[in-house]
Chain A
Amino acid sequence: EVQLVQSGAELKKPGESLKISCKVSGYGFSSYWIGWVRQMPGKGLEWMGIIYPGDSDTRYSPSFQGQVTISADKSIKTAYLQWSSLKASDTAMYYCARTRSSGYDAFDIWGQGTRVTVSS
């Protein structure tokens, strides 16, 4: 069974760093893109960026470029989303999702989400 299992909820203070994870199983990690999607409280979905673990090719939305870093570790089949200095406005649910094919025409498998709360 294909699964994406995300790390648990986080409560952080403004200015702190954070790295959340998305561990995959049930398929060849290197052969599909993994994307990250933000959902702020009560709001819609926002695409943040995407990584191809096979060669670490990474693309970002301009809205998130420079604000977050997406990475992947093939040896442990895990993708990451990290912040160096969190803001209150980073409070949201974050989803990782796998693309349906070697291109990125759709995300067919989603993680359960990681809730990040940033508050002083």
Chain B
Amino acid sequence: DIVMTQSPLSLPVTPGEPASISCRSNQSLLYANGYNYLAWYLQKPGQSPQLLIFLGSNRASGVPDRFSGSGSGTDFTLKISRVEAEDVGVYYCMQTLQIPLTFGGGTKVEIK
């Protein structure tokens, strides 16, 4: 199985400031078609997860442009350019290159 490791576990943030979450895999997620099979989700308190980023760097429909995904191979980053109060929750990365699909352990983002 591909193991996904996120850091940090917890991230206190100040509204208006940037934030960054790291996700690493123990195998490359870069497929022959040039896409990285890595997605990012946000699970707000008491809600279902919601898709933020797919194929490494593509924002899902309706996702604000303050969210961006980058990276390739085994190292990926989710960046929030200016955190807003509504961005609190747990962020998960997920590899979709091979079965079984696997999630990272999650990063809890909270307001300082």
Contacts and interface: CB of A to CB of B under 8 A. Distances in A.
Q: Verify that A and B bind, or say they do not.
A: yes
A106 B48 contact: no
A63 interface: yes
A105 B94 CA distance: 9
Interface residues of B, number: 26
A47 B100 contact: yes
B32 to A, nearest CB: 14
Interface string B75-112: 00000000000000010101010011111111000000
B100 A95 contact: no
Interface stretch (A13-21, A70-78, A81-89, A110-118): A110-118
A35 B101 contact: yes
B92 A44 contact: yes
A10 B46 CA distance: 18
Interface size class of A (residues with CB under 8 A): 20 to 34
B48 A105 contact: no
Interface in A24-72: 35, 37, 44-47, 50, 59-63
Given A59-B99, A62-B100, 9 more contacts: A44-B92, A45-B103, A50-B99, A61-B99, A62-B1, A63-B100, A106-B54, A107-B51, A110-B50
